[in-house]
């Protein structure tokens, strides 16, 4: 079922959902199930599964290093299919521009449709770890808006090289990313919002935001988006801070601000368990305020560990 239909069915009640990262190659899917199992009691209507960019690895041969390109994590679509059938929930693969030609994207979309996947997140994708700036793949898309256009065209039965009329056309519900504190490459929040509007005008049905720790940022973002004519649901993404290192890592990787009050609470802690608890309490408070604001979904970034998400959800759902 589409995310937008889940929201209609919820009739104004806030839903719980979360995102998982496929574990690194060599691990077993059971590890993923062990993290999903404790969250199923909160009835997530959908679960997002991220996709990681390919990476370079260096293999030593007689003192010289060969560079090989590889994917460090197993394929998102297979994981989506496994979770969908095990838990009977909708799963949402993250589909990237980076690393894929348009033809490869089309194959992926056809496979998604075949497996009964009704939703996907259309994203440009992170840069590869050695790159400073995003470099589009030859024959691929430059921006998420172009990927949205490709999915929208497929929804209308228009494939890349032919128009094929099929009885059972895909009808993907398309999610895109939004940035309450603006995307790092964008010259201003206003111009980033204009780009978000482009994605919505191209066919995106809903937005999921980057993590934020100050609800005011989300509220202002939604207000500005509405003023600009973006009317689709804007789902807040919430990440509980979990370790001391997040004080540096989260601003560095996600280009977000951490509130001084949170930094102060973390710095008071003596143990890692206390820090994890501070993160949980902050996220509970954030979630309660967002519930009052009437958000459609509280969407949590689990980053592969679910104990803290369970502690938060137990207080709210
Ligand atoms: P875009 O919407 O294409 O925007 C990228 C930048 O280009 C922005 O600064 C935008 O303002 C600008 N821009 C857009 N269109 C144009 C144009 N026509 N001309 C000039 N500038 C333009 N990354 C992953 O690798 N895997 C994941 O699974 C993943 N999941 C994510 C989930 C969520 C909810 C979020 C918020 C992010 C996720 N990301 C993921 C990160 C995302 O891929 C990066 O933030 C990426 O740098 C931007 O992706 P985007 O889809 O927002 O790009």
Half-sphere exposure of 2 (CA within 13 A, CB side): 13
Q: What are phi and psi of 59, to 5 degrees?
A: -115, 125
More confident position, 47 or 73: 47
Q: Which ligand 1 atom is at minimum distance from the Cα of 76?
A: 28
Q: Who lines ligand 1 at CB under 6 A?
A: 50-51, 53, 94, 96, 121, 123-126, 143-145, 177, 183, 185-186, 192, 195, 199, 208, 210, 237
What is the whole-number distance in angstroms between the Cα of residue 125 and the centre of ligand 1? Answer: 6
Q: Closest residue (by CA) to atom 43 of ligand 1?
A: 125
Q: How many domains does the chain have?
A: 1
Average pLDDT of the segment spanning 63-81 = 84
pLDDT given at position 168: 80
In a domain, 184, yes or no: yes
Give me the CATH number covering residue 139: 3.20.20.220
Distance CA 51, CA 4 (A): 22
Q: Closest residue (by CA) to atom 13 of ligand 1?
A: 195
In a domain, 21, yes or no: yes
In a domain, 57, yes or no: yes
Q: Closest residue (by CA) to atom 33 of ligand 1?
A: 177
Q: Which ligand 1 atom is at minimum distance from the Cα of 194?
A: 11
Distance CA 181, CA 118 (A): 29
Question: What are the pLDDT digits (tens) for 111-136?
Answer: 999 999 999 999 999 998 888 899 99
Could you tell me the residue range of the domain that residue 209 belongs to? 3-239
In a domain, 273, yes or no: no
In a domain, 300, yes or no: no
Task: Tally Cβ neighbours within 10 Å of residue 23.
Answer: 18
pLDDT given at position 152: 97
More confident position, 73 or 112: 112
Question: What are the pLDDT digits (tens) for 237-271?
Answer: 999 999 999 999 999 999 999 999 999 999 999 99
| Residues labelled catalytic | 19
In a domain, 287, yes or no: no
In a domain, 173, yes or no: yes
Pull the structure tokens for residue 22: 């496929």
Distance CA 90, CA 117 (A): 7
In a domain, 112, yes or no: yes
pLDDT given at position 61: 81
Question: From start to end of the chain, where are the E strands?
Answer: 15-20, 46-49, 55-61, 64-70, 90-96, 119-123, 173-178, 206-211, 234-238, 297-301
């Amino acid at each position: 079922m589409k995310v937008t239909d889940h929201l209609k069915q919820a009739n104004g009640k806030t839903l719980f959902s979360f995102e998982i990262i496929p574990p690194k190659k060599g691990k077993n899917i059971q590890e993923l199930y062990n993290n999903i199992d404790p969250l199923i009691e909160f009835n997530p209507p959908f679960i997002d599964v991220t996709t990681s960019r390919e990476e370079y690895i260096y293999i030593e041969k007689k003192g010289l290093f060969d560079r090989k390109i590889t994917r460090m994590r197993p394929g998102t679509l297979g994981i989506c299919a496994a979770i969908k059938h095990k838990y009977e929930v909708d799963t949402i693969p993250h589909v990237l521009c980076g690393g894929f030609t348009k033809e490869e994207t089309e194959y992926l979309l056809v496979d998604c449709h075949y497996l009964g996947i009704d939703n996907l997140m259309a994203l440009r994708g992170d840069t590869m770890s050695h790159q400073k700036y995003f470099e589009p793949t030859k024959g691929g898309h430059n921006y998420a808006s172009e990927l949205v256009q490709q999915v929208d065209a497929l929804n209308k039965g228009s494939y890349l090289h032919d128009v094929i009329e099929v009885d059972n056309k895909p009808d993907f519900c398309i999610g895109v990313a939004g940035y309450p504190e603006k995307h790092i490459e964008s010259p201003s929040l206003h111009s980033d919002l204009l780009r978000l509007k482009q994605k919505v005008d191209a066919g995106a049905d809903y937005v999921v935001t980057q993590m934020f720790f100050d609800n005011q940022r989300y509220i202002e973002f939604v207000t500005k988006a509405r003023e600009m004519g973006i009317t689709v649901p804007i789902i807040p993404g919430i990440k509980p801070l979990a370790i001391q290192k997040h004080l540096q890592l989260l601003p560095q990787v996600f280009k977000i601000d951490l509130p001084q009050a949170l930094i102060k609470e973390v710095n008071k802690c003596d143990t890692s368990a206390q820090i994890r608890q501070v993160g949980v309490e902050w996220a509970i408070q954030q979630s309660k305020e967002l519930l009052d604001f009437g958000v459609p979904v509280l969407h949590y970034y689990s980053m592969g560990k679910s104990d803290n998400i369970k502690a938060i959800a137990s207080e709210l759902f």
